[in-house]
Structure 1
Amino acid sequence: MSHSVEQRIISAEAANAAVLAAVAKAGELGLRINAAVTDSAGVLTAFLRMPGAFLHSVDIAIDKAYTAAGFGFSTAQWAGFLRGDEALRLGMPVRPRNVVFGGGLPIREGGALIGGIGVSGGSAEQDEECARAGLAALGLGA
C-alpha cells in the first residue's frame, strides 16, 4: 500500500514562458504589470516585474496566482460565489492571500491543475487578458 500520490506541477520553463507572454501582452496594452506563476501547491515558480509597475501589485500578482492555484478557478469567479452568501462574503475577502477580483487564472494541462498565473497592474479585466496571454503562450486555455 502506497502512502503517497503523484502531483503534476508546472515546469520552470513553462512558468517563465507564461510570465514573459503576460508582460509582452501588457506592453501591447500600454500597461506596466507584475506577473507571477505558482505551482499547483501555490508556491512561487516564476515572477516578472515591469519597470514602473506598482510596488503593491507585486504581492497582489503573487496572491492572485496562489488563489487561482489553491481553488482551481479564476479569481474573477469569486464575485459570483460571494453574491447571496453573507458569511462567505464577509469571510473570504479577509483571508490572508485570498484575492477575490480578476487577474488570477488556474493553469490546467490535460485537465490536471498544474499551477496558477496572476497579473496585477491594470484593471481586473486587463490583468486577466494578460494572464490569458500567458496561458496561450503555453498552448493552454482558461
Structure 2
Amino acid sequence: MPVGLLLAQQATFTSASLTPDAALKAARAALETCRKNGHQAAVSVNDRAGNALVMLRDRFAGPHTVDTAINKAYTAVTFKLDTTSFTRSTQGGEPASGVRHLPRIVAIGGGIPIESAGSIVGAIGVSGAPGGDADDVCAKAGIAAIRDELDF
C-alpha cells in the first residue's frame, strides 16, 4: 500500500450516527408512551454530536420542557451515560460535581444514550413527566421502538 494512502486512512475515520427517520420513530414512541401514562412531555433525539435531530412537544407540555429535553439528550450523549446515573455521580461532594455547572448540562433522569454496534449513535431526552424516573420510562420506550434497526 502506498504511504500516502496509508496516511490518508489514518487521518480519517467513519462513524455511525442515527438517521432522522429513526430519530423521529423513537421520538414518536416516547411521546406516545408519555401520553398513555398521562404525561404531557417534550422529546428530543440528538445525533452523536449532541445536535437535535428531532424534537416533539405535546400541546400542553410546559415551555421549559423543550430545552430540557434537548439538553438531557445532549448530556447523555456527551457524557456517554444516562442522566439518572449522571445525576448520582455528579451530586454535591462527588469529585465530578463541578460538571453540572457547564452550559446545557441537565442532571435529571430522562436522558439515555442510544447505542448501535458498541458505539453511541445518539441520545434521547424526555422532559415533562413528574420526575426523572417517569421520563426514563418514556425514553426507554423510544429506544425500544428502534431497537430492531440498531446493530447489537
The equivalent residue for 1:133 is 141
Structure 1 counterpart of 2:30, from 13, 22, 26: 22
1:59 equivalent in structure 2: 67
Q: CA deviation at 1:71?
A: 1.3
TM-score computed with the length of structure 1 as normaliser: 0.92
**Alpha-carbon RMSD:** 1.6
Is 1:7–2:15 an aligned residue pair?
Answer: yes
Q: In structure 2, how many angstroms separate the alpha carbons of the residues matched to 1:13 and 1:86?
A: 39
Amino acid at match of 1:16: L
Tell me the equivalent position of 1:77: 85
Local SS of the residue matching 1:138: helix
Between stretches 72-81 and 22-31, larger displacement belongs to: 72-81
What 5-or-longer segments of structure 1 have no aligned partner?
none
Amino acid in the other structure paired with 1:30: G
Q: Residues of 2 paired with 1:97 and 1:39: CA distance?
A: 15
Residue 51 of structure 2 is aligned to residue 43 of structure 1:
yes
Larger radius of gyration: 2
Q: Residue 139 of structure 1 aligns to a residue in which SS?
A: helix
1:118 corresponds to which residue?
125
CA distance in 2, matches of 1:57, 1:76: 17
Residues 90 and 100, structure 2, Cα contact 8 Å, conserved in 1: no
| Unpaired segments ≥5 residues, structure 2 | 1-6
Q: What are the equivalent positions in structure 2 for 1:81-120 lying under 5 Å apart?
A: 81-83=89-91, 85-89=93-97, 91-120=98-127
SS in 2 for 1:98: coil
Distance 1:124 1:84, change over 3 A: closer
